[in-house]
């Protein structure tokens, strides 16, 4: 079975115009995996504290259910327990192949419908040799990065990605993993993801914008500037809200003056291009302008 990618919910032009860009001008794409790049049948399980009943919900359903656990209603008495996230770790029966087998099953059963709203953009960024070294996967899963690479090997085997689009292991950040770098530790998943985002933005800012760089619409949307470009995509409203709260405040405080920061939330069933926002220099969020998919070259000095 070969994947036929028909959905284009997230425009990748902002990242893929890098084909003729100076090698040192960075176009960086950073995205979540579950329900954003890939959709699987993995389940989060909760247990009733009295009866022991176990129920499973999808990661999409979990966005709602996690706030209803223990409250009067359908989820009264249910709670997270030690095996709740077994499908999202290397500790289940399939071990390090857990994620790979979930994706293989999803592709066999659902075909292209298993590819999430950011798959096309993420795949295009991974295919491009200029953008691939700056493309990162930031996921709440608890797998080791090497196990997530096994999942990408499935995507390659099914023709969804070419072999050269395999991501770099150092660019995989599973914030639920027990081996996560202590620099990224935080009380919440959203907080951990935000720390990874800050780390990645600091990396980009440390690279000087080269002479001859492409001119992009400025962060404020009122001029053309030679800057790096960095974007983050996530379907979880809490992760997106944390990024929308923290990153603009840091930009307003003077962080990353040579980077244009874009946020691409992918709420289910909505056009993420319409939801996309650029962070302005004073820390506000603005909608993207139609011309922001086009580029000019800055004359070399």
Alpha-carbon gap, residue 214 to 131, rounded angstroms: 14
What's the pLDDT at 259? 97
Give the number of C-alpha atoms closer than 13 A to the C-alpha of residue 131, restricted to the C-beta side.
Answer: 28
Alpha-carbon gap, residue 26 to 230, rounded angstroms: 8
Please give the average per-residue pLDDT across 230-248, as a whole number. 93
Query: How is residue 127 written in tokens?
Result: 């295919």
Whether residue 54 contacts residue 45, with contact meaning beta carbons closer than 8 Å, is answered with yes
Query: How is residue 84 written in tokens?
Result: 């709740």
pTM for this structure?
Answer: 0.89
Query: What pairing do the DSSP bridges indicate for beta strands 277-279 and 259-265?
Result: antiparallel
Q: Would the pLDDT of 51 be above 50?
A: yes
Q: Would the pLDDT of 1 be above 70?
A: no
Confidence of residue 215 (pLDDT cuts 50, 70, 90): confident
Alpha-carbon gap, residue 156 to 163, rounded angstroms: 6
Please give the average per-residue pLDDT across 259-265, as a whole number. 91
Which residue is it, tokens 């935080």? 186
Mean pLDDT of the chain: 88
Q: Would the pLDDT of 269 be above 80?
A: no
Contacts of 193 (CB under 8 A, 6+ apart): 32, 138, 140, 173, 175, 234, 239, 242, 243
Strand order of the β-sheet with 214-217 is 224-226, 214-217, 296-297
Alpha-carbon gap, residue 290 to 292, rounded angstroms: 6
What's the pLDDT at 127? 92
Closest alpha carbon to 88 in 50, 167, 32, 159: 32
Please give the average per-residue pLDDT across 9-28, as a whole number. 57
What's the pLDDT at 147? 98
């Amino acid at each position: 079975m070969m994947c036929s990618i028909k959905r284009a919910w997230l425009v990748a032009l902002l990242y893929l115009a890098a084909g003729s860009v100076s090698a040192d001008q960075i176009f960086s794409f950073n995205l979540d995996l579950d329900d954003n790049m890939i959709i699987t049948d993995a389940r989060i399980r909760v247990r009733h504290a009295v009866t022991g009943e176990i129920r499973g919900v999808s990661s999409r359903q979990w966005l709602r259910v996690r706030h209803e656990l223990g409250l009067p209603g359908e989820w009264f008495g249910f709670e997270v327990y030690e095996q709740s996230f077994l499908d999202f770790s290397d500790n289940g029966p399939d071990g390090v192949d857990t994620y790979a087998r979930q994706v293989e099953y999803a592709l066999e059963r659902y075909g292209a419908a298993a590819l999430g709203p950011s798959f096309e953009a993420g795949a295009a960024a991974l295919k491009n040799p200029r953008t691939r070294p700056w493309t990162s996967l930031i996921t709440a899963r608890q797998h080791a990065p090497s196990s997530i690479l096994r999942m990408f090997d499935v995507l390659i085997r099914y023709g969804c990605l070419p072999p050269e689009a395999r991501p770099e292991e150092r660019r995989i950040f599973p914030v639920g993993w027990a081996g996560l770098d202590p620099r990224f530790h935080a009380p919440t998943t959203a907080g951990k993801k935000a720390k990874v985002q800050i780390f990645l933005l600091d990396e980009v800012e440390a690279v000087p914008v080269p002479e001859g760089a492409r001119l992009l619409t400025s962060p404020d949307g009122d001029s053309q500037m030679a800057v790096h470009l960095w974007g983050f995509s996530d379907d979880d409203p809490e992760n997106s809200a944390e990024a929308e709260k923290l990153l603009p405040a840091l930009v307003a405080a003077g962080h990353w003056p040579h980077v244009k920061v874009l946020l691409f939330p992918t709420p289910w069933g909505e056009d993420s291009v319409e939801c996309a926002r650029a962070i302005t220099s004073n820390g506000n969020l603005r909608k993207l302008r139609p011309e922001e998919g086009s580029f000019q070259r800055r004359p070399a000095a």
